[in-house]
Chain A
Amino acid sequence: MTENEEKKLCAEALIISGVKPEKCMKCGKCSGACPSYDEMEYHPHQFVDMVSKGQIKKLMESASIYKCLSCFVCVERCPRNVMPANIIEAVRALQERPQGTDRLTPDEVKNILDDDTPQQLLMAAFRKYSR
């Protein structure tokens, strides 16, 4: 990925997420609240920061994008309306866009199935982990 391509992807991430990173005052409340913090290599505030700096590649390649629970705690508690979850979602969407990058394939689904697995989980997992 060239630097230019990376910049373009960042711009796209900002557009589809509707996030304006310049509103962020770097207080870290999002990361202070995130329930997946320890599972993530890059944390919510870093997503905001790095995308605004044009460094999306590392984020796309990191497993962090699959650790976000979309629990909206960061969105809820951000004092500046930055919406970190939305930008994580956008990075994930950009990562999963090309063919063959699905995190979850139909074959793998049976691994997670048990008698009680609710449809909601399947729907959500498909939406979050594949194109």
Chain B
Amino acid sequence: MQRIGVFVCWCGSNIAATVDVKKVAEELKSEPGVVYSADYQYMCSENGQNLIKSAIKDYSLTGIVVCSCSPRMHEATFRKTASEAGINPYMVEIANIREQCSWIHKDMATATQKAIILGRAAVAKVNLNTPLTEGESPVVKRALVIGGGIAGIQTALDIADAGYKVDIVEKKPTIGGKMAQLDKTFPTLDCAACILTPKMVEAAQHENITLYTYSEVEEVKGYVGNFDVKIRKKARYVNENLCTGCGECTSKCPSRKGLNEFNMGLDGRGAIYIPFAQAIPNVPVIDTAQCIKFKTGKCGLCQMNCPSKAVDFSQKDEFIDEKYGAIVVATGFDIITLENYEEYGYSMYKDVVTSLEFERLMNAAGPSKGHLERPSDHKQPKTIVFVQCVGSRDTTGCGKEYCSKICCMYTAKHAMLTREKYPDTEVYVFYIDVRTPGKNFDEFYRRAVEQYGVHYIKGMVGKVYDDGQGHLMVRGSDLLANEQLTIKADMVVLAAATKADESARKLGTMLTASMDTNDFFTEAHPKLRPVESPTAGVFLSGFCQGPKDIPETVAQAGAAAAKVIGLLAKNKLKSNPCVARADSLICSGCSNCEKVCPFGAITYAETDVNDGTVREKRRVAVVNEAVCKGCGACTVACPSGAMDLKGFTNKQIFAEVDAICRQTGE
């Protein structure tokens, strides 16, 4: 049985003017467990707190009820008071008789009566309170960044500069991501490679950064501060330590049938290849599906020609196990495939290209060395039509419902660059809306129109077809002119919708980090915690959280790094003790609680159970207290009541309900 003290606060006249505080104290004295009750002008004042402290000592109190303002105001204060007087801080409950009572009622009798009932509920709860202790867990001072694009690189550099170890895992043979494929960047038109490659080099050379390229995260276990991650380093069949990157092997490879991924398949590459000149690491990789040696056992020219004996056909995938305190997701994006948009003729006509392909066609390091030409006949196009929103803002299920955000700007960029380099080329842009909310963005778009004479047409293309004579006919509507027009073009560029990278979904499951229906990672709070995932210790950087351009991505990358640094700077993590607890004697191991847990805090373990009559091994739920945030979703999903929430137990809430429902004067 508890020994409870009740302390009724006047809050000056805030409470006392409408609530008869003396009567409340008097009435609550007769509640079960209550051995002491008092009222005071300002309970939160030093004197008030001392009153509580001495009562705890004098009456050997085990539980405290303070009838005062909202617990959101002073719960922490009174917990500290209790703690200083030697009882567990979680033995304190607050009855909110100010915000919920004195401030909203005028009639003294009514307010007093309500205050008594609220006090009773708090007393009933405290009777069932148990001491709780905050958990503590150590923090591994190392971060993992998944994805080696601009987002991942920036996050890793920022964390590394702060003095913490960072590993980058990149699934492709090189870091750099999508940005490495771009030609110029809006709105300043500086060359992407010029600003990105120095960062790639910096990441590779940083003493605190380890790169795992051509690698994937295989398994994630653990929780904030203590993640256990298994990384698969795929065999590239070239020894990274021996290879000097001379490129001898790539030039000797007799197979030329591979499609150059970096150039969006617009040209070919050998079976052993370095994705692009500035790749990091500058080490080739063998495409085993294409390699003659792997297919037939014969060839091996690359191995024979390698001056440093780095080619190793017997290489196997390697597994690396590492511990991390924090994980940053920076998996980036891709563009959708266009089989649902054949009205634009992407698969029928070679000269209908995506914007990313166009990016490569414009790029000095691209398949045409920067000379803009049509893929079909390598002629320079004289009329180009750009189509925006191809698959974006589509609610039919064919594309993506969201706005891809970056297309308006890069299309303006493409149009502008085309007109600058080839002033005799006519450029049309079909748009639904031109969205340019960014610094210098609208100015940029207007420049394309006013200075470069790009024809912007408000309307959408209905069909692209060929006239049988090498031209593409683009039929669309010009809504402002109220007409349907057909443009005879040489090339059509489609701003295909963006999508989350395919690896994201699998990773989301591994990390138990929640995602939206579009496979973008969800942030912990859309406004106030935009770079954190709801899963503690998992942070978000770049496009993986939603469409973003480069400046935004870099900003978010830095923000994510700051959050990681804040976490790694701590030696221990304290956790909220009001978390779920599974009773292994009752748990049936049905997994229902696991399914509703938003944080992945529940796992299952084969546990020896002994309830006095039965001894056996059973699959039972285990709550990771460092991960659980205490929402209680699991407690309702659990039919047997094995899952309960500390600080808000079933019994406690029942007791509150019962106390409120008791007849007056009972």
Q: Do chains A and B touch in the complex (CB under 8 A)?
A: yes
Task: From known contacts A45-B477, A79-B394, A79-B396, infer whether A28 and B343 are also in contact, taking CB-CB under 8 Å.
Answer: no
Tell me how far the C-beta of B495 lies from the nearest C-beta in chain A, rounded to whole angstroms: 13
Nearest CB in chain A to that of B458: its residue: A28
Contacts A26-B432, A26-B479, A27-B389 given; indicate if A32 touches B396 (C-beta within 8 A): no
Nearest residue, chain A, Cβ from B485: A32
In Å, the complex CA distance between A53 and B479 comes to 18
CB pair A28 B396 closer than 8 Å: no
Would you call A73 and B396 a contact (CB within 8 A)? no
Q: Which residues of B contact A32 (CB under 8 A)?
A: 459-463, 475-477, 484
Q: Give the residue of A30, A34, A81 whose beta carbon is less than 8 angstroms from that of B396.
A: A81
Is the CB–CB distance between B484 and A38 below 8 Å?
yes
Residue in contact with A81 in the complex, picked from B389, B395, B478, B479, CB distance below 8 Å: B395
Contact call B399/A33, Cβ cutoff below 8 A: no
In the complex, the answer to whether B393 meets A31 with C-beta atoms within 8 Å is no
> For residues 31 through 45 of chain A, which have their beta carbon under 8 Å from a beta carbon of chain B?
31-34, 37-38, 43, 45
* Nearest-neighbor residue (CB-CB) of B399 within chain A: A79
**Contact with A80, one of B396, B462, B463 (Cβ below 8 angstroms):** B396
Taken together as a complex, chains A and B put the C-alpha atoms of A26 and B398 apart, in Å, by 18
The answer, among B399, B460, B484, for a CB contact under 8 Å with A27, is B460
> Contact between A28 and B460 (Cβ–Cβ < 8 Å)?
yes
Q: How far is the CA of A38 from the CA of B482 in the complex (A)?
A: 10
CB distance from B537 to the nearest CB of A (A): 39
- State the Cβ distance, A45 to closest chain B Cβ, in Å: 7
Cβ B484 vs Cβ A25 within 8 A: no
Measured in the bound complex, the distance between the Cα atoms of B393 and A23 in whole Å is 11
A8 an interface residue at 8 Å Cβ cutoff?
Answer: no
Known: A31-B479, A45-B477, A79-B399. A37 touches B484 (CB 8 A): yes
* Complex Cα spacing A80 to B475, Å: 20
- In angstroms, Cα B344 to Cα A77, docked, is 11
**Chain A interface bracket (under 10, 10 to 19, 20 to 34, 35 or more):** 20 to 34
Q: Tell me, in angstroms, the Cα distance from A125 to B343 when the chains sit together.
A: 29
Residues of A within 8 A of B475 (CB): 32-33
Interfacial chain B residues near A27, Cβ < 8 Å: 389, 393, 432, 459-460
**Contact mask A1-40 → B, CB, 8 Å, 1/0?**
0000000000000000000000101111111111001100
Chain B positions 452-489 with a Cβ under 8 Å from a chain A Cβ: 458-463, 475-479, 482, 484
Q: Residue A48 at the B interface, CB < 8 A? A: no
A91 within 8 A of B: no
Pairwise interchain contact A31-B459, C-beta atoms closer than 8 A:
yes
The answer to whether A65 has its CB under 8 Å from any CB of chain B is: no
Judging by beta carbons under 8 Å apart, are B393 and A25 in contact?
yes
A-contact 0/1 string along B371-400, CB 8 Å cutoff = 000000000000000000100011110110
Neighbour of A33 across the interface among B343, B393, B395, CB < 8 A: B343
List A contacts of B459 (CB < 8 A): 27-28, 31-32
Q: Would you give the shortest CB distance from B569 to chain A, in whole angstroms?
A: 47
Beta-carbon contact of B394 and A73 below 8 Å: no
B512 → chain A closest CB, angstroms = 34
Question: Using a CB-CB cutoff of 8 Å, which residues 303-346 of chain B contact chain A?
Answer: 343
**A88 at interface, CB cutoff 8 A:** no
Of A34, A77, A79, A81, the residue contacting B393 (CB under 8 A) is A79
Query: Contact: B461 with A29, CB < 8 Å?
Result: yes
Contact check, B394 vs A33: say whether CB atoms are below 8 A apart: no
A28 touching B479, Cβ below 8 Å? yes
With A29-B477, A45-B479 already in contact, the answer to whether A77 and B432 are too (CB < 8 A) is no
Q: Is A78 located at the chain interface by the 8 A CB criterion? A: yes
Could you say which residues of chain A place their CB within 8 Å of the CB of B476? 28-29, 32
Q: How far is the CB of A64 from chain B (nearest CB, A)?
A: 13
Residues on B with beta carbons closer than 8 Å to the beta carbon of A80: 393-396
> Which residues from A are CB-within-8-Å of B463?
32-33
Interchain CA distance A28-B462 in the complex, whole Å: 9
* Residue of chain A at shortest CB distance from B391: A79
Greatest chain B CB density within 10 A among A23, A33, A37, A78 is at: A33
Tell me the bound Cα distance from A122 to B369 in angstroms.
61
List CB contacts (< 8 Å) of B249-267 with chain A.
Answer: none
Q: Which of A23, A31, A78, A81 contacts B477 (CB 8 A)?
A: A31
A26–B389 Cα distance when bound, in Å, is 13
Cβ contact of B460, chosen from A29, A37, A38, cutoff 8 A: A29
Contacts of B484 in A (CB 8 A): 31-32, 34, 37-38, 43
List the A residue with the shortest CB-CB distance to B395: A80
User: Which residues of A sit under 8 angstroms from B393, Cβ to Cβ?
Assistant: 25, 27, 79-80
New A-B pairs, 17, CB < 8 Å, besides A32-B459, A34-B484: A27-B459, A27-B460, A28-B458, A28-B459, A28-B460, A29-B460, A29-B462, A29-B477, A31-B462, A31-B484, A32-B462, A32-B476, A32-B477, A45-B477, A79-B393, A80-B395, A81-B396
Instruction: Please name the 6 residue pairs, one residue from A and one from B, whose CB atoms are nearest each other, closest first.
Output: A33-B462, A32-B462, A29-B460, A32-B477, A32-B476, A37-B484
Q: Give me 18 A-to-B residue pairs in the complex whose CB atoms sit less than 8 angstroms apart, sorted by A's number.
A: A25-B393, A25-B432, A27-B389, A27-B460, A28-B458, A28-B476, A29-B477, A32-B460, A32-B461, A32-B462, A32-B463, A34-B484, A37-B484, A38-B484, A77-B462, A79-B394, A80-B396, A81-B396
